[in-house]
Amino acid sequence: MKNWIQFPIVEGTASRQAHCDMPAGTYEQEMGREGFFGPASQLHHRHAPTGWVKWEGPLRPRAFDLNNATAVSGSPWDARLVLFNGATKIRIWKTEGKMPALARNADGDDLLFFHTGSGHFYCDFGHMPFRDGDYILVPRGVQWRLECDEPAMVLMVEATGDSYKLPGKGLVGTHAIFDPAILDVPRIDDAFKEQYSEAETLCEIKRQDALSHVTYGFNPLDAIGWHGDLAPVKLNWRDIRPLMSARYHVPPSAHCTFLSNRVVICTFCPRPIESDPGALKLPYFHSNVDYDEFIFYHKGEFFSRDNIRPGMTTFHPIGFPHGPHPKAYDTAMDYARKETDEVAVMVDTRDMMTPADLPEGVEWTEYYKSWQKK
Determine the 3-state secondary structure of 262 from DSSP.
Answer: coil
**What is the spatial distance between Cα 147 and Cα 100, in angstroms, rounded to a whole number?**
10
**What is the spatial distance between Cα 224 and Cα 67, in angstroms, rounded to a whole number?**
39
Is the torsion defined by CA of 69, 237, 315, 104 positive or negative? Answer: negative
Q: What is the DSSP letter of 97?
A: S
Q: Residues near 216 by Cβ (< 8 Å), separated by ≥ 6?
A: 200, 201, 202, 203
Please report, in range form, the residues annotated as the binding site.
Answer: 286, 292, 322
Please report, in range form, the residues annotated as the binding site for homogentisate.
Answer: 322
Provide the total of helices (H) and of strands (E) in the chain, helices listed first. Answer: 2, 20
Let me know if 227 is a catalytic residue: no
Where does the chain show beta strands of DSSP type E?
27-32, 40-45, 62-65, 80-85, 88-95, 102-105, 108-123, 126-130, 134-138, 143-160, 201-207, 210-216, 233-236, 256-259, 263-268, 285-288, 292-299, 312-316, 343-349, 354-355
- Output the CA angle 148-160-77, nearest 5 degrees: 35
Q: Which of 249, 255, 316, 325 is catalytic?
A: 249
**What is the spatial distance between Cα 52 and Cα 71, in angstroms, rounded to a whole number?**
36
Please report, in range form, the residues annotated as the binding site for Fe cation.
Answer: 286, 292, 322
Give one DSSP letter per residue of 333-359, joined into a string. Answer: HTT--SB---EEEEEEESS--EEPP--
- What amino acid positions are annotated as catalytic residues? 249
